Structures are given as C-alpha cells and as structure tokens.
Amino acid sequence: MIQGNIPERLIYVLNVARTINVEWEDLEGIAVMNEVIFPCFPVDKASPESLETALGWAGYNKDLPQSSQNLPKQIERANDPFQIRIAGLEARGRGGRAYKVMTEEGYWFDLREDVLLDALILSGIEKGGKINGSFVWGKVGSQIKLVRVGSALHSALIEAGKRRTIAKVKHLSPGGIYRNVKGERFLVIGRVSTVEFTYDMGFTPKLWEKLHAIPASVCRKDYSNQLLVLQLQQSDKGLERLNGILDFEKSKSFYLSYFKRQNTLSVVECEDIVQLPIDLLPRLREAALRAIAELSEGHSGEIVVDRICYESGLANLVAYPEEPSVSAEFSPLVELLTPYLK
C-alpha cells in the first residue's frame, strides 16, 4: 500500500535562469527548442529538511557567511493543478535519462517515466509537447514528483493522505489485528520480557572466514515490558499464520523474523480480535530453539554463535511482569557463549 499524500502548499526553489537549446542528436546545429528556463526544485512546505536540500541544490552553502552569497529565490504556491509540456531529455549517470517539462511560467522540472507513460497512454500529447490534462505535486514516500490529476497514482495518494489524518488507536489488545497508516498489518501478542545475546566479530569477515570465525565478544542484555507483535502479510489470516509458525515446519525458520519486539506500535485501525493460544510463549520458545538446532547443524564457529544470538530473544520470552531470565532450555546454549561474554 502506497505511503504519501498530496501536499497543500509547495515552495519552488529557483536556480539561475539559463537558455536551453535542444537539438537533434544527429543534426548538430539544428535546434528543436531555444528558450529561457528557470530550473526548479519543488519542496513540500511542511518539510523544512527538504528545503535545506533544495537550497544546497541551488548552490547555497549554509556553512558560508550569508553576506558572501545570494539566497536562491523561493516562490510559495498552493498545490493547484497546472499544465506542462515536454521540452527536453537529459542524460544522467549510468545511462539514466530524465524527461524535462516546463510550465507556462518557464519553470523547468523532471517528469518521471511512469507518469509520462501514464499520460501518453491515457491522456495523450498535443503538437508542441503539451500534455493533455493537468498536474499537481504528489509526495510518494519522501520524494516529490509530478502526478497527473485523475490518474490511479493521484487517487492512491489522496487516499494515503486521508489515512495520515485518522485518529490513532490508543489501546492495544492481545489478539488484536491492527493496521498502520502505511497499510502494514500486525497481530498483537502482548507485553513480554526477555534476555537477548548479541555478538561482535571485531572485524568484517569474508564469507570463507565467517564459516569458522570466532566472535570477539558476546554481550547479554535484559529487556522488560516490550510489546511483542507478529507482522502479517496483506493476505494473512492472523491466527492461521501464527499457528503455522508455532508448528514450525522444517526450513520455515525465517518466519520467526516476522515477530517484532518494540516499545510502542502506532496504528489507526483494528480489523479483528482473535483468541491467542494459551501456550503461545512456550511454543514460540520451542520454535526458536528448533531454529537454532536446524541452522547450526553441520556448522561451527561464528555460524553457530550467530544463530544462538539471533534467536535468543525469542528463546527466552516470558510474559511481563515476569522478570527477564534465561530459560531452562536455553541454558545449555549459554555455555557455548560463556567464553566470549563481556
């Protein structure tokens, strides 16, 4: 699910005006276009850090005295629809290319290829390069790009913007399946405590070294009152996914990485509440121990330590407010780590 919005107001940071001369690639000296343009960097007004980036793009150095340089011109405007025409194509590094468009005022921008293709197929282009339809600025993730009004991307960004304004769910219930503003889904397990081990190689080994390398040190850290969640895929049914992981089929250990421990969870919607298994934590500890055994089989050195440490947080889970401690089943593995403990 796309993350972004249609900003309400923009700031155009203008670079120095220049004359653009577009010529045939194989017919030197025969111009297709010769006009004065104003290269622009569009910035969401609600994103001050992006304004700093834009000023740097325009040649302004914040570390130099203001008296020694001119502040690039900035124009604030509402994000109202406007029309554009294709006016150039720039070669970029590593074989990349960027289509260039300009407005009636002479502002010069990039047009992403996916937006251009949408316009070519669904709205068309007139003689002279004018694209039928109108455009606004959309924010996709952290990037600003031109978006055709009425396109699928435009509609998706409007819906994404609405999700940003939805009130957050304040109380999380164990067994609740929740969705955040990005559309990501989580099954809340509850509050837990655990002991986790991490290791430091002291250097970055090459692959052949890693197979038998010994870690320089291993550290133990206790965690208390953390929120345990299971991240779900869009098609997952929460309880089915949970039981599938707990049953632990061989070679499915990577699913354990979908369990996340964190202090908080910001969500905007509760889809459902399911009944969690009473023996959930013991089964999860057992699944983690099986993963360690399976992935350590036939290995030694760093590989074994890596698996023990990686799954240690799950292998030692207890329900909060119980204090974090090493589980009885995990204790024999600690003996393998003891020589390297700080």
- Indicate whether 206 and 297 sit together in one domain: yes
- Indicate whether 214 and 137 sit together in one domain: no
**What pLDDT does residue 118 have?**
95
- Indicate whether 11 and 154 sit together in one domain: yes
The answer on pLDDT for 298 being more than 50 is yes
- Indicate whether 153 and 128 sit together in one domain: yes
Is 171 among the domain residues?
Answer: no
Is 169 among the domain residues?
Answer: no
Instruction: Specify the higher pLDDT residue, 7 or 234.
Output: 7
Neighbours of 124 (CB within 10 A): 11
pLDDT in tens, 59-75: 877 777 766 677 889 99
- Going by pLDDT thresholds of 50, 70 and 90, the confidence category of residue 251 is very low
- Indicate whether 273 and 148 sit together in one domain: no
Q: Which of 3-17, 126-140, 303-317 has the lowest mean pLDDT?
A: 303-317
Kindly compute the dihedral angle of the four CA atoms of residues 30, 32, 37, 39, in this order, to the nearest 10 degrees. -100
**Domain boundary residue, one of 129, 164, 199:** 164
Contact 139, 125 (CB under 8 A): no
Is 190 among the domain residues?
Answer: yes
Is 87 among the domain residues?
Answer: yes
Phi, psi of 75 (to 5 degrees): -125, 120
**What pLDDT does residue 248 have?**
58
**What pLDDT does residue 208 have?**
46
The answer on pLDDT for 216 being more than 70 is no
For the chain, the domain total comes to: 2
**Burial (Cβ within 10 Å: 0-12, 13-18, ≥19) of residue 251:** exposed
- Indicate whether 22 and 160 sit together in one domain: yes
**Domain boundary residue, one of 104, 138, 164:** 164
Domain that holds residue 42: 4-164
- Indicate whether 134 and 189 sit together in one domain: no
**Rounded average pLDDT over 192-198:** 93
- Indicate whether 218 and 90 sit together in one domain: no
Q: Return the axis-axis angle of helices 152-164 and 113-122, rounded to nearest 10°.
A: 120
State how far the Cα of 334 lies from the Cα of 24, in Å rounded to an integer.
71
Is 311 among the domain residues?
Answer: yes
**Rounded average pLDDT over 2-28:** 87
Contact 169, 13 (CB under 8 A): no
Is 65 among the domain residues?
Answer: yes
- Indicate whether 93 and 147 sit together in one domain: yes
Top-confidence range, 88-92, 246-250, 297-301: 88-92
**Domain boundary residue, one of 101, 129, 164:** 164
- Indicate whether 37 and 108 sit together in one domain: yes
Is 170 among the domain residues?
Answer: no
- Indicate whether 157 and 29 sit together in one domain: yes
Residues of the chain with pLDDT > 90, as a percent, come to: 46
- Which among 135, 49, 48, 131 has a CA at the least distance from the CA of 87? 131
Phi, psi of 152 (to 5 degrees): -60, -40
- Going by pLDDT thresholds of 50, 70 and 90, the confidence category of residue 7 is very high
pLDDT in tens, 38-56: 999 999 998 888 888 888 8
- Indicate whether 146 and 182 sit together in one domain: no
